[in-house]
Amino acid sequence: MTLQTKETVIGFVGTGVMGKSMASHFLKAGYPVVVYTRTKAKAEDLLAQGAVWKEHVSEVAQASDVIITMVGYPSDVEEVYLGAEGIVPHAKPGSFLIDMTTSKPSLAKKIYEEAKKHDLHSLDAPVSGGDIGAREARLTIMVGGDQEAFDAIEPLLKIMGTNVVLQGGPGAGQHTKMCNQIAIATNMIGVCEAISYAKKAGLDPSRVLESIAAGAAGSWSLSNLAPRMIAGNFDPGFYIKHFIKDMGIALEAAKEMGLLTPGLELSKSLYDELAANGMEDNGTQALIKWFEK
């Protein structure tokens, strides 16, 4: 099972905040890339770099050897893969399907089984690292699927990320992403509380970060999102509405396994409140607004 370098056509469905950067790395590496996204304007930068536009998901599937998806919600994933004009019914036998959306583990398993019936290799490969990681090709990529398919596709995944790990069979990538989101959810509360405390104590929060981000309290969110909070920059590297979706998936999966996640429940309740007040399209760092209201 091999993929011919630079002869492999990469299809990309979903070119939003992260998907656009991820797809661009394949163009820079010399691969032919075809793209589709619901709003064509979001693909204009990629088209200017040489990507080829397709009018439908089915056309991307028919033209590609590897199809990568980075869409919004599980309902989008299901439609893109299993709908009448979706990837599974139209992809060429032997193609590789890589869903990098954060979605339900159960849906990843369903897509895998349907893909196998069509002689297609399906992997769930959600990512972490936000817009910065996508832009700098430093994403963490958590993969679920068959070892043989992973071995074939790993060099392509490493074009987008630096930490690429096969976690297990179908759905394992999505379960691992849930672990990631659970860890982030409560950490974000801690970051916001620390900044709020620093301000109340009359400290310079940026100077405080110089000390605590390099110590035992250090985290990705503290180093990358806390400075945005302090600067009042709430542009989305990762949308609040998508984080709420992820936390909902994690809560549902945890409940099915009989696991209590009180920190996750608290974090989701705070973000739900922000969304209800019109901030769902802000970046997740906007949680600081809850503490400063």
Residues serving a catalytic function are: 177
End-to-end Cα spacing for the chain: 56
- Say which residue the tokens 């590609």 belong to: 64
CB under 8 A, 24+ apart: contacts of 250-258: 250/178, 250/181, 250/182, 250/185, 252/104, 253/104, 253/105, 253/175, 253/178, 254/178, 254/182
Q: Nearest 5°: CA angle at 149, between 146 and 152?
A: 150
Query: Rounded distance, CA 215 to CA 185, Å?
Result: 20
Query: Rounded distance, CA 94 to CA 102, Å?
Result: 24
